[in-house]
Structure 1
């Protein structure tokens, strides 16, 4: 799993939406705060918006895996309304066939900016 998560974070940090989407199953779901994205089209819209609007970068701090379930502590740095911000994130992933089938992301404070 550590390789899958590292590739996911590298694609996210590189703002490479195609590489990012390649790490997900076709029917993957993603939940952050009140935002829910499902399937490749929903994930594409979510990630294209995030990587161009917020300019985020992620750092992996801790990863715990048990079979197809992975929990990760991440640090997110982004720009919102011209202000640089840093957040602690807890991310919970379910994997299927070597790809991310679902993710639920919790940002310290509020997931809504």
Structure 2
């Protein structure tokens, strides 16, 4: 994969996430994808669909890319996330590290400033 292909795949992931387009978001993952946020580990597209559907419905999150570095089959992003928690809007910094295969995300590790838990 080229750096621009990786960057485009991550860009589409962010676009689908922000538009709450669950079908397009899931199309961007491999069947065996692994998503790690804090102590939460989610494996496979079925479990990822549930994770993202719940987040999109409950938190109304939105991501803004600050920086994106892509190299071969990997990407690192610095993001700002805005979400609603208990009726209150919150903004935090996020770092995301992605591994891709054939243009799809196969693994991601997400670090949220402060705590990864949204409670």
Please report the TM-score for the alignment, with normalisation by the length of structure 1: 0.97
Q: 1:47 aligns with which of 28, 44, 52?
A: 52
The match for 2:23 among 18, 21, 28 is 18
SS at match of 1:41: helix
Gaps of 5+ in 1: none
Note the 1:46-85 alignment, pairs <5 A.
Answer: 46-85=51-90
Number of aligned residue pairs: give it.
Answer: 113
Match of 1:95 in 2: 100
Q: Report the counterpart of residue 3 of structure 2 in structure 1.
A: none
Match of residue 27 from structure 1: 32
User: Any unmatched runs of 5+ in structure 2?
Assistant: 1-5
Distance, in Å, in 2 between the alignment partners of 1:6 and 1:14 is 12
When the two chains are superposed, the root-mean-square deviation of aligned CA atoms in Å is 0.7
Q: TM-score, normalised by structure 2?
A: 0.93
Find the aligned partners of 2:82 and 2:105 in 1 and give their Cα distance. 22
Q: Is the 8 A contact 2:7 2:75 kept in 1?
A: no
- Counterpart in 1 of 2:13? 8
